[in-house]
Structure 1
């Protein structure tokens, strides 16, 4: 019989196991309802949260949500757990841990000291009993800094992925979008293209295009074609100019099998990219994307709620010391995050959990056209994540990705966030914007009104490369 029981008046609430308790304690979302693991009432959810708050953190080391022998992500989490780092907080309950995180005297120095001792399940658990403002406050205290050709994640900075997708991978269309984004001060996190095909030769062509732009204009940034990791390994073997290796990942072995990857394949790609030594200020060479609902979509969730599965993916990411990680928070659709409220909550949860675990966490602040959300919801999440000092967001012309057919944040949105919150691009990119007269020397949160002739129109820049 389960030990997870709570008497409320005449009603005795029972939860089957730790996974059931975690799922019932999760804020409402459509994906957990679809999986049949969500709380059946607000009262049941509140009871689960109260029980969870009283649970000792060490419980998560004694009772795994997914069996050790059945899942390589569970084995990774348990085998790499640092008992010495955990000892400082091992006496705490989940509720005590929340209070410790929120204390004014607790800082990034303290987080760094205990980070190797906290598991994704502990972090997911504490997030379930936190309000939105709690998630923002703690995430803001986490300073996760990574480097390749520039420095991402410094306090007071907000980077952007310039996403020049094109439905036919037309080189001129992609190049025009790249230059358009640069004119708006976007692209310091990465120039990152989702290719329209799985062709390795096409991926190599796009890699060369972005590398030509970066090298010709001496831009302190990095490029990435978001193709499957095995395609990138093949591109490296062909001598392509690979900066970052991309892969979508999930929080269970079964989910990653659905993506066609495992820890060994990711390790092979990581080592191959490191050997290229293309970074100038650092060697963080991996780029991962995640998203709540992927485990259920792959039928690999093992009855675990989607937010906990998502947080387990961060154990995979942190093993490979990535330059960038982002949750594509509303991309999978309303089956998993039904409306703007659920998307906003999930984005704040993912950002908090990723940063607390030591990841350079960004967010694709987005929704599909059949979700009950709109651009005002995205403005709200963008602003909240900006306050929480999210590492990076997406930049796409007009917020509309014409290849992937979803809505996200635009070049202009990044300028809004930087201006209203006083945030700046990565420092090396800041200096490049000033040198190229794209931004005035005295205010790098705004753009110059007078550009050099060769920047008067993106097509003029494309001609320089031809």
Structure 2
């Protein structure tokens, strides 16, 4: 079905919903590279106006990636909750935006609605939102998950402590790990990207992290960001796996390029659940969110698996994959792939807010790696702006690494100090269990704030020497 709209006496026609969605997307270099973006600002405005008039139910009948040939489309359609959708089924995309901005769209209403929304619906409405709309609406969404710490509660901001090292040297990892803990980082996860990605190395790092967490009684979880099949083998060999990591994409082809499909993700989730390593909370429930997913706009085009779609719509579809497996964490690594996909700080800021917005509307525990590569037209000021806006929008977690510079992956992200600033400015705290541990150990001052005590706790005496052992 074609769509059209007239702007300044010129009629613009879009061949199908996929074409309309792509042309309605705010300008970004990845869509230009793919040849799917609007050819002019006028055409983009016409597409956005045409998109605003489309009923939401159209997205259930016209797939941007064919149902017959794509497992992700089948997952999205086959698991759609028609009952949850009924409350907004009569709205157009434009009407849906207006409703989301209204007081009727409360936290409770948005939580109930989430299973009834498809990724394409939320991608569509994001394309006609201003930045302040993306912030206001996302802020009303609350997604709370648990393993050993509780992430996503109001008034909280968590961090992933990322102590990467270019040679996986345990002393180097330990130094970054200690630095992060001393700055109140790590309540979302202590997660290492291994420089050498194989099963024995993953197990070595997993055991090291598990030893630290157990020895110091840290209420957090660990993850080695190795391929899901490596993690499955590590579980079979008795490794202490808390979270299963995997990068996921919004088409079957993208996931196949990562070496995964939906079946192996389900197998990994069941394997991790069988270990029963999550904490038992006061309500008697065990923390059972065991998956950690990362995504990024542009990955589908890199895999030549975007199917003619724009990168932001495909990114939202990746969240449809993630939602099915009930993750503890979902992280959009927004500027990591490079300027081929998000050219400038302006494009990275828009993409980060879109990703967070779409994930939260779909019911996901969204975090953001607020980052850029050194050859992008972006700098630290751009990242500060995005960080503050995501903090206001209620982002569940951000990254924490020494000096904001990942010396293994060679990109710029957010530092331990950045998270402290965001917590101070916005009056946020770490996850409650982790926050209590920080005060008990003396890392934070006792009380209602999140201020560093300035003292090195006795529990960390000689910590580097202890972690040196293989």
TM-score (norm 2): 0.97
* 1:354-374 Cα shifts (integer Å, max 9, x gaps): 011000000000000100000
The Cα of 1:183 is off from its aligned counterpart by 0.1
* 1:47-78 Cα shifts (integer Å, max 9, x gaps): 10000001000110111001101000000011
Which residue of structure 2 lines up, in the alignment, with residue 294 of structure 1?
A: 299
Which residue of structure 2 lines up, in the alignment, with residue 124 of structure 1?
A: 123
342, 350, 358: which one pairs with 2:347? Answer: 342
* 1:257-282 Cα shifts (integer Å, max 9, x gaps): 00000000000000000000000041
1:153-232 matched pairs, under 5 angstroms: 153-232=152-231
The Cα of 1:9 is off from its aligned counterpart by 4.1
Which residue of structure 2 lines up, in the alignment, with residue 16 of structure 1?
A: 15
The Cα of 1:134 is off from its aligned counterpart by 0.5
Which residue of structure 2 lines up, in the alignment, with residue 462 of structure 1?
A: 464
- Kept in 1, the 8 Å contact 2:242–2:277? The answer is yes
Distance in 1 (alpha carbons) for counterparts of 2:115 and 2:186: 31
Which residue of structure 2 lines up, in the alignment, with residue 304 of structure 1?
A: 309
Which residue of structure 2 lines up, in the alignment, with residue 382 of structure 1?
A: 387
Structure 1 residue matching 2:354: 3-state secondary structure: helix
2:45 is the alignment partner of 1:65? no
The Cα of 1:113 is off from its aligned counterpart by 1.8
- Kept in 2, the 8 Å contact 1:25–1:52? The answer is yes
C-alpha RMSD of the superposition: 1.0
Distance in 1 (alpha carbons) for counterparts of 2:89 and 2:79: 16
* 1:186-212 Cα shifts (integer Å, max 9, x gaps): 000000000001221010000000000
Which residue of structure 2 lines up, in the alignment, with residue 397 of structure 1?
A: 402
* Structure 2: gaps (5+ residues): 282-286
Which residue of structure 2 lines up, in the alignment, with residue 238 of structure 1?
A: 237
Distance in 2 (alpha carbons) for counterparts of 1:76 and 1:305: 20
Which residue of structure 1 lines up, in the alignment, with residue 108 of structure 2?
A: 109
Distance in 2 (alpha carbons) for counterparts of 1:99 and 1:371: 35
- Kept in 1, the 8 Å contact 2:441–2:459? The answer is no
- Kept in 2, the 8 Å contact 1:193–1:225? The answer is yes
Distance in 2 (alpha carbons) for counterparts of 1:89 and 1:428: 37
How many residue pairs match? The answer is 462
1:16-95 matched pairs, under 5 angstroms: 16-95=15-94
Structure 2 residue matching 1:89: 3-state secondary structure: coil
Distance in 1 (alpha carbons) for counterparts of 2:288 and 2:243: 10
The Cα of 1:449 is off from its aligned counterpart by 1.9
* 1:190-241 Cα shifts (integer Å, max 9, x gaps): 0000000122101000000000000000000000000000000000000000
Which residue of structure 1 lines up, in the alignment, with residue 365 of structure 2?
A: 360
Structure 2 residue matching 1:386: 3-state secondary structure: helix
Which residue of structure 1 lines up, in the alignment, with residue 290 of structure 2?
A: 285
407, 417, 421: which one pairs with 1:412? Answer: 417
- Kept in 2, the 8 Å contact 1:326–1:362? The answer is yes
The Cα of 1:453 is off from its aligned counterpart by 4.5
- Kept in 1, the 8 Å contact 2:165–2:408? The answer is yes
- Kept in 2, the 8 Å contact 1:165–1:195? The answer is yes
Distance in 2 (alpha carbons) for counterparts of 1:7 and 1:454: 68
Structure 1 residue matching 2:371: 3-state secondary structure: coil
The Cα of 1:3 is off from its aligned counterpart by 3.1
- Kept in 2, the 8 Å contact 1:434–1:444? The answer is no
Which residue of structure 2 lines up, in the alignment, with residue 448 of structure 1?
A: 453
Change in Cα spacing, 1:218 to 1:453, as seen in structure 2 (3 Å) is: closer
* 1:417-452 Cα shifts (integer Å, max 9, x gaps): 001111100000000000000000124421002333
Structure 2 residue matching 1:112: 3-state secondary structure: helix
Which residue of structure 1 lines up, in the alignment, with residue 145 of structure 2?
A: 146
Change in Cα spacing, 1:453 to 1:117, as seen in structure 2 (3 Å) is: closer
* 1:270-304 Cα shifts (integer Å, max 9, x gaps): 00000000000411000000000000010000001
